[in-house]
Structure 1
Amino acid sequence: MKPTKRAALILGAATLLVTGLFVATNAYAANLLSNPGFESGNLSGWSCTGSGSGAVTSPVHSGSYALNGNATNADTAQCTQTVTVQPNTAYTLSGWVRGSYVYLGVTGGASTWTPAATAYTKLTVPFTTTAGQTSIQVYLHGWYGTGAYNADDISLDGPGTPPTTTPPTSSSPSKSPSASASPSKSPSASASPSKSPSTSPTTPVTGIPKHALIGYHHASFANGSGYIRMADIPAAWDVIDLAFGEPTSVTSGDIRFNRCSAAECPGVESDAEFLAAIKAKQAQGKKVLISIGGQNGQVQLTTTAARDAFVSSVSAIIDRWGLDGLDIDFEGHSLYLNAGDSDLRNPTTPVVVNLISALKSLKAKYGAKFVLTMAPETFFVQLGYQFYGGTTQGDNRAGSYLPVIHAVRDFLTILHVQDYNSGPIWGLDNQYHTMGGADFHIAMTDMLKAGFPVANTGQTFPGLRADQIAIGVPAAVSAGNGYVANSVVQSAVTCLVNGSGCGGYTLRGGPSPALRGLMTWSINWDRYYNWEFQNAQRPYLNTLP
C-alpha cells in the first residue's frame, strides 16, 4: 500500500526515470537543504526529537561536523526539514549514515534504510512530486533502543531555490517516525506468545474463491506504470480494489472518488464504460471495492459528524458504481491511540471508536454480502506485539489497527497486511524478521493466525480465521520495498498452508489450508511487467488444497 501504496507509486516512477523511460534529468548543482552537513555546529534548519541529539565533530563523513541522533527506548531521534519543491518533478534525496537501523526518506513518500552500517554508507531515495505538490518534508531517524546513529552530507537534488541563510531550529519538532519503514524493538522476555483460537463465527457469504488473487487498480491517478481500463483487467483477479477514495480534508470524513482524467490518464474510459466494466466483472463473480485512504488520503474521524459524513459519502460511492464493499487502507496518521487507551477490546480514542462505528453502520446497511477488507502496514498491526500506542512507550500509532480489526472480526472479510515498506519486526519466535525472504511473510502471517499478547497491556489479540487472512506483497520491483521473486512468495504460502518447508520457523498458529490468498500492489504494476505476478501466482493458487 500500503505503501505505503502511493510511496511505492513514487518509488516506481523514480525507477522509470533513472532507467531512462522518462525523458528528464535529476542532476542539479544546488542542494535545496539548509545546513545539510551540520557545518553550523548545531541543528539549525532541522527539527529533531529526543534529548542528547546534536552536531558532533567525530565521526564525520566530510567537513567538521555530523549529526549524532540519540535514539532511546522512547524516541527514534528523528530530524526533519521542510523544503519548497515543484509539482510533477523528479528529485533525489541522499545522505551518508552510520549506525544500526538508520532511515532516510520523504514523509508520506519514498524511503530507504540500512540495518547495520559500521562505516558511513550512502542512502539514496529518488522520487517524483505529485501534481500540485509544492513542499515536502525530508526525514532522518534511527529506531527505539538501537542507540546513536550518525548522518552527514544530506542532499536534496532537483530544481528549486537553495537556501541563502540557515533558518532557526523549529520549536515544534515532529514526534512521529515514518510508518513506512519501521523496525521494531524486542519485547520483554516475559511477553511470551500463546496460541489463541479465533472467536469469529462462520465464514461470511461473499462469493470470493477459497484462494483469491487480490489487486489494486490505479483508478484515480496516473503514475509510471500506466493506466489500464477496467474492462482490460484479466479474469485472473478475484478482488479489484479501486485506488483511492480520499477525503476533502483530513478530519471531514467526506470521501470522494474522482476518476483519473483523460489529460492525466490517456485512454481512460468514460464513466458509462467504467460502470459497465464493473458490472461485467461482477457478472463473472469478481468483487470490486472502493479503497479508502492510501498514502495521500489521511482520514481522521475525530468527531461523530465526521463519522456520519464518512458513512454517507462512502455509501454514495458504493451506490454510484454498484460496488461490493470497501477496503480500508488508512496510513500515515489516520489512526492513533490516545494516552491511556490500552484495552484493545474497549478503545476510547475517537478516531478508532468512530471508524469502528462507521464500519458497523455500513455493514448493517449492505448486509451479508458486504465485503470488507483492510490493508494496514506492519507498523499498525504486528508491531503491537512490542509497542502499543495507548501506552507510554514509543509512537502512539503502533498497533492502532488492532482494536479496529478486533471490533469488526465478525464481519471482516480479508485482512491483507502490507508485508512491504517495513522495517524488521519481532515475531512470535522472539526473533527479528526482515523483508527479503519467505521467512518474513511466514512470521508476519503466523502472527495474524495465532494471535499475540499486545505489548505491556496484559491483553491478547486473538488470531483470525485462516480464510480472513491474505498476504500482501509488491507485484514487481518498482512497486514497493520488500519485493521478492514469485517463487519465494510461493514458498511462504506453501509453508503456511501445508506446514512444510518452513525452514527453522515453527508455526504457532498451525497450518492454514484455508489461507485466503495473495494481495498485491498493484494490477497496474503487474501489467507493466508483462503480468509476471498474475501468471505465476494464479496457477499456483489453483493448486492449493
Structure 2
Amino acid sequence: MDRPRPRLRTRSRLLTALTAAALAATGLTALSAPTARAADADLARNGGFESTLDGWTCTANSGANVNSPVHGGTSALRATPTGADNAQCAQTVTVRPDSAYTLSGFVRGGYVYLGASGTGTTDVSTWTPSAPDWQKLTTTFRTGPSTTKVTIYTHGWYGTPAYYADDLSLTGPGADAPAPPTAPTGLAAGTPTSTGVPLSWTAVPGATSYAIYTNGAKSRTVTGTSATLSGLTPATAYSFQVAAVNDAGESPKSAAVTATTAQGADGGGGSADLPTHALVGYLHASFANGAGYTRLADVPDSWDVIDLAFGEPTSTTSGDIRFNRCPATECPGVESDADFKAAIKAKQAAGKKVLISIGGQNGQVQLTTAAARDTFVSSVSKIIDEYGLDGLDVDFEGHSLSLDTADTDFKHPTTPVIVNLIAALKTLKAKYGDDFVLSMAPETFFVQNGYQFYGTGKWGGQDPRCGAYLPVIHALRDDLTLLHVQDYNSGPIMGLDNQYHSMGGADFHIAMTDMLLTGFPVAGDANNVFPPLRPDQIAIGMPASTNAGNGYVSPAETTKALNCLTKKTDCGAYSSHGTWPGLRGLMTWSVNWDRFNNWEFQRNFDAYFG
C-alpha cells in the first residue's frame, strides 16, 4: 500500500492492432446474410443521431452530435479518439434469441469499425481503413439460444483523427415484450446467529436476481436462491420477504417469514460486531518506514479495526504465509512478543478488532494450485491462532490476481488463482465461524475498473488485472465483513456517469463508492451486472497524509464525500444514486502515517461521526 499504483497499459501499436482486426474481419465474410422478413424491424434507437446522442454512450466523452457532414437527415455522430481511447459509441438493444440480424451503417474517416458484441454466438465487426466519403458497412450475426440483448457499437482507433457515423440500423425480429416474474415461494429462515439469519427460497423461472426485504425495506439483491442477512441486532425479531427480478421489473413479494436473532454474549452483539460507523487503519507491524514505529498499545481508542501489516509469502506461489514482526534494529521501541499479544487482548477487551493483513505492495500471493491453497489456509490459521486474532484482511496487490484470457464471467470464475483464493477464504470463514472478521483492500484498478474493462478475452490489450477482484468479492459477499477499496494511488477511473474521475477530491470517492452501493454492468455488459453491496460492508479507503500515497484528500473534501453518500448533500459534479446513512466508515493507510500527521484523519472521523 505504500507506493504509486500502476496505471492502465498503453495499447499495442496501430499496425499490430489493424492487422488483427483485418484478420477478424476476413473471417466474418464467411457468414451468410440472413434474409429479411416482413416482421423484421430496425431496432437501433436514434441510429440517425437526430436526437443528439440519445440512446448512445461514448467512451471518455468522445462523441458529439454534428450537423455536417451528414449522410441522411440533419445530424450525424462525430467521435474523436485519443491516444488512450478509441472513441467507442455503443447502445444495448433487446433482441430475440436464436434469430438472424443485419447491422449496417454509413461511416466516414480513417479506421472506422462497426460491430456487435454479446451475441451469444460469434461477436462480429467490420471496418474500413479509409473512407474519405460516406461508405456503407454491413455485417450479420445470429443470436444465441438464450440471448436477449446485444450491444452494437462503432469506434475508431487510438490516436487517429475523428470519424463520423450516420444512419446506423440493426434489422431483425423484435423481442417479445417481457413480463415480470412470479412471486417466489418456499421462503424459509434457517437457524439465526446473534447477528445473522440465513434465508432460502425456490427458484423462479425467468428471474435474473432476487430482492430481499427486511421489515418491509429492500436490504439487498442477490443472484442465487439463498443468502445470509448479517449485521443484525441480537435478540431482535425480523420479518423477511423476497421478490424475483428480471428486465421487465420486480414480482410481488413472497409470503413473509419471521426470525429472531440469538442473544449475543454479554447481552450485546457477538464478537464480530462492529460499531455503526467504524474507523479502520493499518498498523506497520512488520517493517519500518518514514512514518516511524507505533506500538499497538499506543493506538488510540478511536480505531475500531486494526490491520497488522503484513503477513507475507515465503515465495510467490507456495501459499505459505509468515508474519515476522519488525526487529528492534529497524523499529526502535518495538515491544516484545508477550507485550504485543497482551496489547491484542487489551484491544479486544475494549471491543476493537485486530486482524492480520496478507499481502501489501511487496507480498505477492498467487494460489496457482490446490496445494498452495491448502498451505495458505494452514499457515494463515497458524498466525491467527498464535496471536489470537479476530480475522483476516486480504490486501493482494501487484499481479497476485489476474484473469485468464477466457475468464469473462465474474459469477463463474475459472482462473485458478481466483478459484483457489475463494475456496481458501471460505474454508477459513467456515473454520472460525460467524465471528470471523473478513475484510478486503483491493485497489480501484482491481474493482471499479471492471465496469469498463474485465480481463483480456473481451477487451484485448487491457491489463488482465482489471476487475480481477470482482469474482472474489461476489463469491464471498455473504461472508465479507468489510470492503475498503484503496481510492488512492490510482489513475482516472470511469464512474456510472461514464465520465472519468481523478483522485484528490470528494467526487472521486463519491463515484467509486456509489458504484459499490449501486451495482454496475461488468465490462459494459448489461446482462452481467455486479450486484450492490450493503452499506455496512463499505468503508472508504483514503491515505492519511500526503506522505502516505497519491490521492490525499483534505478533511473538508472527506466531509463532502460523506455528506453526499450518507445525506445526499454537498454532492458536486457527481451525485450518488442513493443515500446510505449506514455506510460503515473510513479506512486509511495508515495508523502510523496518521500519527505522523498529528492524527488529522482520526480527528476528522471523530468529529464527523461523533
TM-score grouping bracket, smaller chain normalisation? 0.5 to 0.7
Q: 1:147 aligns with which of 80, 83, 94?
A: 83
Aligned length: 379
Which consecutive residues of structure 1, in runs of 5 or more, have no partner in the other structure? 10-46, 54-69, 75-114, 116-144, 149-183
Report the 3-state secondary structure (helix = DSSP H, G, I; strand = E; otherwise coil) of the residue aligned with 2:346: helix
Q: Which amino acid aligns with 1:295?
A: Q
Instruction: Tell me: CA distance 1:51–1:418, structure 2 relative to 1, closer, same or farther (3 Å).
Output: same
Report the 3-state secondary structure (helix = DSSP H, G, I; strand = E; otherwise coil) of the residue aligned with 1:417: coil
Question: 1:540: Cα distance to partner?
Answer: 1.1
Aligned to 1:398: 466
Instruction: Tell me: CA distance 1:49–1:539, structure 2 relative to 1, closer, same or farther (3 Å).
Output: closer
Equivalents in 1 of 2:572, 2:88: separation in Å? 24
**Do 1:187 and 1:386's aligned partners in 2 also have CA atoms closer than 8 Å?**
no
Per-residue CA distance 1:266-325 (angstroms, 9 max, x = gap): 100000000000000000000000000000000000000000000000000000000000
Report the 3-state secondary structure (helix = DSSP H, G, I; strand = E; otherwise coil) of the residue aligned with 2:333: coil
Aligned to 2:486: 418
**Do 1:191 and 1:453's aligned partners in 2 also have CA atoms closer than 8 Å?**
no
Instruction: Tell me: CA distance 1:203–1:365, structure 2 relative to 1, closer, same or farther (3 Å).
Output: same
Aligned to 2:608: 540
* 1:484 and 2:553 correspond: yes
Aligned to 2:113: none
* 1:524 and 2:592 correspond: yes
Equivalents in 2 of 1:225, 1:191: separation in Å? 50
Q: 2:337 aligns with which of 266, 271, 290?
A: 271
Instruction: Tell me: CA distance 1:330–1:523, structure 2 relative to 1, closer, same or farther (3 Å).
Output: same
* 1:472 and 2:373 correspond: no
**Do 2:456 and 2:463's aligned partners in 1 also have CA atoms closer than 8 Å?**
no
Per-residue CA distance 1:449-500 (angstroms, 9 max, x = gap): 0000000554110010010111000001100100011111111011101112
Question: 1:530: Cα distance to partner?
Answer: 1.2
Q: Which amino acid aligns with 2:303?
A: W
Report the 3-state secondary structure (helix = DSSP H, G, I; strand = E; otherwise coil) of the residue aligned with 2:307: strand
Aligned to 1:287: 353
Equivalents in 2 of 1:468, 1:188: separation in Å? 34
* 1:202 and 2:229 correspond: yes
Aligned to 1:435: 503
- Between the two proteins, what is the percent identity of the paired residues? 65
* 1:50 and 2:12 correspond: yes
Equivalents in 2 of 1:379, 1:405: separation in Å? 14
Question: 1:186: Cα distance to partner?
Answer: 7.9
Report the 3-state secondary structure (helix = DSSP H, G, I; strand = E; otherwise coil) of the residue aligned with 1:418: coil
Q: 2:448 aligns with which of 364, 382, 407?
A: 382
Equivalents in 2 of 1:309, 1:187: separation in Å? 45
Alignment of 1:196-275 (within 5 A): 197-199=220-222, 201-204=228-231, 206-275=272-341
Q: Which amino acid aligns with 2:282?
A: Y
* 1:451 and 2:519 correspond: yes
Report the 3-state secondary structure (helix = DSSP H, G, I; strand = E; otherwise coil) of the residue aligned with 2:484: strand
Instruction: Tell me: CA distance 1:203–1:261, structure 2 relative to 1, closer, same or farther (3 Å).
Output: same
* 1:190 and 2:217 correspond: no
Report the 3-state secondary structure (helix = DSSP H, G, I; strand = E; otherwise coil) of the residue aligned with 1:201: strand
Equivalents in 2 of 1:499, 1:48: separation in Å? 37
Per-residue CA distance 1:69-116 (angstroms, 9 max, x = gap): x999x9xxxxxxxxxxxxxxxxxxxxxxxxxxxxxxxxxxxxxxxx9x
**Do 1:246 and 1:293's aligned partners in 2 also have CA atoms closer than 8 Å?**
yes
Equivalents in 1 of 2:524, 2:501: separation in Å? 21
Q: Which amino acid aligns with 1:287?
A: K
Question: 1:426: Cα distance to partner?
Answer: 0.7
Aligned to 1:326: 392
Q: 1:349 aligns with which of 388, 393, 415?
A: 415
**Which is greater in Rg?**
2
Q: Which amino acid aligns with 2:352?
A: K
Per-residue CA distance 1:194-213 (angstroms, 9 max, x = gap): 99953363224522111000
**Do 1:475 and 1:525's aligned partners in 2 also have CA atoms closer than 8 Å?**
yes
Question: 1:416: Cα distance to partner?
Answer: 0.4
**Do 2:486 and 2:540's aligned partners in 1 also have CA atoms closer than 8 Å?**
yes
Which consecutive residues of structure 2, in runs of 5 or more, have no partner in the other structure? 21-59, 61-80, 94-150, 152-207, 212-219, 232-269
Report the 3-state secondary structure (helix = DSSP H, G, I; strand = E; otherwise coil) of the residue aligned with 1:500: coil
Question: 1:391: Cα distance to partner?
Answer: 2.4
**Do 2:510 and 2:575's aligned partners in 1 also have CA atoms closer than 8 Å?**
no
Aligned to 1:310: 376
Equivalents in 2 of 1:284, 1:476: separation in Å? 27
Report the 3-state secondary structure (helix = DSSP H, G, I; strand = E; otherwise coil) of the residue aligned with 2:221: coil
Question: 1:233: Cα distance to partner?
Answer: 0.5
Equivalents in 1 of 2:493, 2:375: separation in Å? 36
Q: Which amino acid aligns with 1:334?
A: S
Instruction: Tell me: CA distance 1:401–1:191, structure 2 relative to 1, closer, same or farther (3 Å).
Output: farther
**Do 2:408 and 2:458's aligned partners in 1 also have CA atoms closer than 8 Å?**
no
RMSD: 2.7
**Relative contact order (alpha carbons < 8 A, sep ≥ 6): 1 or 2 greater?**
1
TM-score (norm 2): 0.59
**Do 2:4 and 2:490's aligned partners in 1 also have CA atoms closer than 8 Å?**
no
Q: Which amino acid aligns with 1:236?
A: S
Q: Which amino acid aligns with 1:476?
A: S
Alignment of 1:360-375 (within 5 A): 360-375=426-441
Equivalents in 2 of 1:296, 1:187: separation in Å? 36
Question: 1:7: Cα distance to partner?
Answer: 1.1
Equivalents in 2 of 1:516, 1:214: separation in Å? 10
Report the 3-state secondary structure (helix = DSSP H, G, I; strand = E; otherwise coil) of the residue aligned with 1:447: helix
Deviates more, 1:404-413 or 1:387-396: 387-396
